[in-house]
Structure 1
Amino acid sequence: MARKRTSPFEDLVEVASKLPWWACLSLAAVSFAVLHVVASRPPMPVAGPEQIGEAAARGLVATMAMFGKYILAFAFSLAALISAINSLRQKKLYQRVEARKGTQALNEMGWEDFERLVSEYYRRSGFQVAREGGRGPDGGIDLTLRKDKETYLVQCKQWKAYKVGVKPVREFYGVMASRGAAGGYFVTSGEYTEEAKGFVRGTNLELVDGRKLREMIDAARTPSLSVERRKEVAVARPATPSPACPKCGAEMARRIARRGAQTGREFWGCSRFPKCNGARQIEDQGEKEPAPLSDPPTPDAPTQSMPTTKPCPRCNEEMRLRQFQSGSRSGQYFYGCTTCKKGWPADHHSS
C-alpha cells in the first residue's frame, strides 16, 4: 500500500516528534530566536539601480523569517506535545504488560504497541533510544540504541502466527554490518526457526523471542524491588557488621548479583573490586560467620587473563573486547571484528 502523501509541515512534525519533548521545545525556542533576529534586521537602503536586486532579496529573506519563526515554533511545539503523549502512552503500555503474567499480553498488541514496548524496555535498561520505524508492520531498523559511545540496532517483529525464519535475520545482520553496529537485537513476540538460531550463533546478534522478552521484563523489576527490600530490612534489623574478605582481608560491602545463578540476590563483595573479586554469602543468623561463595557472582569487568584485543580468526585483523548491554547475554563479553563484522565469544581459543 502506497504511503499517503503529506506536506513538508507534517513531515517536519513527524520527524521532530521522535525526539524527546524537551528537545522539541528547545528547537522551538532556538528557531524563534534566530529567525526573529533575521526578521528584525532593518531594510537595506538603495543607493542605486545595481542594489535593487540585493535589497529585494534581503527583504524577501526578512519576510520569510518573520512568518517562519511562528511556523517553526508552532511545528516544534506540536511535535513536543506529540512526543510527550507518546512517551506517556509508552510508559503506561509497559506498566500494563509488566503487571500481567505470561506472553498473552505480547500477542494481543499490535505492531506499533509492540515496538513501543521494546523501546521502553531498552530505555529503562539505560540506553538512549531513537525510533526509526513507524512506516509499517514489517521493515527496516526500528530502534537505534546508544550506550557508552556504542551503537546497537533493534528490529521488532510482532509475529505470533508463525516462526521467524533465517531470511529476515540474515538481512538484519547485513544492515548491522553495513552500519558498523557494535551489536543488534532481533525481537519478536513469537519464535525463531532452528536455522535462524544457528545463523546467529557466535555473532554479535541476539535473538529475543516472546518468552525471553517476558523474562527480560520480569527481570528488569528485580533491581527496584531489591532496593525496596533493602530499605525494609534496614528498618527492621540493625546493621550487620561487614566481614573481612576471604582473599585479601579488606572490608566487604553489600552488593547485588547482576547475572549468573544468583542474579538479584545480595552478597558480600570485596571493597577492592575489581582488583579483588572475593565474595561471601550473606547470613541472617547473628553470630554465624558468612561463608565464602564457591561460585562468586560474575564481576562486571573482564578478568586480567582476557585481553582487550586479539586477532580475528577469519581475517586476522584486530578484534576489540565488547560487552552485551541487554538481553539474556547481558554483561557477557565477546570479541567484535570491525573488518568482517563477525563476533566471537570471549572464551574463544586464543589465536
Structure 2
Amino acid sequence: MKFKMSEKSLFAVLLRSPWWISFVLVAVVALAAGALLPEKYAGVGMLGGFPFFVIGCMAFWRQRNLPSPALVEKGLQSLGGMSWRDFSVVLDSAFTRQGYSVTPLTGAADMLLEKKGVRTVVSAKRWKAAAMGLEPLRDLVAQRDALEASNSVCISLGQVSTKADDFAAEHRITLITGADLVILVDKEVKAL
C-alpha cells in the first residue's frame, strides 16, 4: 500500500515552498512554546516544531540544486526561441548524456529512449504550445502501447490543464515542464 499525502496539506505545501519557511516555523513554535507554556513544559512544547524541522531539511535537500526563478525564466525563453530541429538536438544530447540510446520517431512520439532494456517514448514536438490538452497525451499513450514501451514522457513549455495533468497521472505519463525542463537540458543549452 502506497501512502499519498494530500497536495493541500500543510506539509505538502511546505515541501513545495522555499526551505527556509519551515525553519522560520520551527523558530515560531519554539518561541511561542517558551513564552506561553510553563517553564516545566516549555521544552516539550518546543519539540512541537520538530516536524517542521524535518520538512525543512527535506525541502532543502530537494531544492539544493534547483536553478533560481530568474534562471528558469531565462532558460525557458531560450528554449522557446529555438526551432524544432535545434530543440530536438538539445533533447537528444540531454538524454544521451543520461545514458539513453535515442531513436527518432514520427507520429505522436518524437523519440524512443532505451536504457537497460526499458523503453520510453517522448513527445516534445508541441513544446511551444501555450497549453497542453488531452489529445496529444491520448495519442502518446496509443503510440507507447503500439511500441510496447514501458514509459512515456511529454515535454512542454506551456501550462498543463488540470484534465491533462490528471490524465497523465492516470496513464503513467511523466510531464516535464518549467524548471524540470531547464534542469534536463541545462548543460546542452550552456554549450550552445
TM-score scaled to structure 1, two decimals? 0.31
Alignment correspondent of 1:216: 184
Question: Partners in 2 of 1:168 and 1:157 — Cα distance?
Answer: 10
Among 195, 203, 207, which residue is 2:175 paired with? 207
For 1:1-351, list aligned pairs within 5 A. Answer: 101-133=74-106, 139-218=107-186
Q: Percent identity?
A: 26
Runs (5+) with no aligned partner, structure 2: 1-70
Question: Partners in 2 of 1:202 and 1:168 — Cα distance?
Answer: 15
In structure 1, what residue type is equivalent to 2:99? G
| TM-aligned CA deviation for residue 101 of structure 1 | 4.2
Question: Partners in 2 of 1:209 and 1:157 — Cα distance?
Answer: 13
Q: Deviations over 1:215-266 (max 9, x none)?
A: 333499xxxxxxxxxxxxxxxxxxxxxxxxxxxxxxxxxxxxxxxxxxxxxx
| TM-aligned CA deviation for residue 159 of structure 1 | 4.0
Give the conservation status (yes or no) of the 8 Å contact 1:185–1:206.
Answer: yes
Q: Which has the higher contact order (CA 8 A, sep 6+)?
A: 2
In structure 2, what residue type is equivalent to 1:124? R
Question: Partners in 2 of 1:106 and 1:157 — Cα distance?
Answer: 12
Aligned partner of residue 103 in structure 1, secondary structure: helix
Give the conservation status (yes or no) of the 8 Å contact 2:144–2:152.
Answer: yes
Question: Partners in 2 of 1:189 and 1:162 — Cα distance?
Answer: 7
Aligned partner of residue 160 in structure 1, secondary structure: coil
Q: 1:157 to 1:210 in 2, by over 3 A?
A: farther
Question: Partners in 2 of 1:148 and 1:189 — Cα distance?
Answer: 29
Which piece of structure 1 moves more, 122-131 or 175-184?
Answer: 175-184
In structure 1, what residue type is equivalent to 2:96? R
In structure 2, what residue type is equivalent to 1:163? A
Question: Partners in 2 of 1:161 and 1:144 — Cα distance?
Answer: 21
Question: Partners in 2 of 1:132 and 1:150 — Cα distance?
Answer: 17
Give the conservation status (yes or no) of the 8 Å contact 2:122–2:152.
Answer: yes
The number of equivalent residue pairs is 118
Give the conservation status (yes or no) of the 8 Å contact 1:158–1:190.
Answer: no
| TM-aligned CA deviation for residue 161 of structure 1 | 4.9
Query: CA RMSD for the aligned pairs?
Result: 2.7
Aligned partner of residue 144 in structure 1, secondary structure: strand
Aligned partner of residue 126 in structure 1, secondary structure: coil
Question: Partners in 1 of 2:111 and 2:98 — Cα distance?
Answer: 14
Q: Deviations over 1:58-95 (max 9, x none)?
A: xxxxxxxxxxxxxxxxxxxxxxxxxxxxxxxxxxxxxx
Q: Deviations over 1:33-71 (max 9, x none)?
A: xxxxxxxxxxxxxxxxxxxxxxxxxxxxxxxxxxxxxxx
Give the conservation status (yes or no) of the 8 Å contact 1:114–1:158.
Answer: no
Give the conservation status (yes or no) of the 8 Å contact 1:151–1:182.
Answer: yes
Alignment correspondent of 1:224: none
TM-score scaled to structure 2, two decimals? 0.54
Q: Which has the larger helix fraction?
A: 2
Give the conservation status (yes or no) of the 8 Å contact 1:189–1:210.
Answer: yes
Moved over 6 A (4+): none
In structure 2, what residue type is equivalent to 1:109? M
Aligned partner of residue 159 in structure 2, secondary structure: coil
